[in-house]
Amino acid sequence: MTMTEQSAEQAAEETVRCAHHDGHGPGPGAEAPESPRERVNRRWNEVLQETRVTQTGVQILFGFLLSVAFTPLFRELGTVDHVIYVITVV
């Protein structure tokens, strides 16, 4: 094999290796890989954090929807619009 072919082969192996690990492998001075239990705990904590953020957004949206019912124009809406509003709130 020529030097160019060896370099191309090594580059291809590095590309496959990098694509497989996606840059998440331990680097120099990195911590040891996490155990399956630690990974589950970390992912569960991430889900809880996302749920907390979503909960705040839902509360704000719900507050705006409830405030619409107390506007003067709400009384002028038809029955269909009231039904759509109630379904949206529920």
- The pLDDT of residue 80 is 94
Instruction: Establish if 29 belongs to a structural domain.
Output: no
- The pLDDT of residue 2 is 52
**Total domains in the fold of the chain:** 1
The residue type at 63: G
Segments in the chain below pLDDT 70: 1-30
- The pLDDT of residue 88 is 86
Give the three-class secondary structure for 39. helix
Instruction: Establish if 81 belongs to a structural domain.
Output: yes
* pLDDT tens column, 42-67: 999 999 999 999 999 999 999 998 89
Instruction: Establish if 51 belongs to a structural domain.
Output: no
Q: What is the dihedral of CA 53, 56, 58, 62, to 10 degrees?
A: -170
Q: What is the extent of the structural domain holding 88?
A: 57-90
- The pLDDT of residue 28 is 61
Tokens 């497989």 identify what position? 20
- The pLDDT of residue 5 is 57
Distance between start and end Cα atoms, the chain? 71
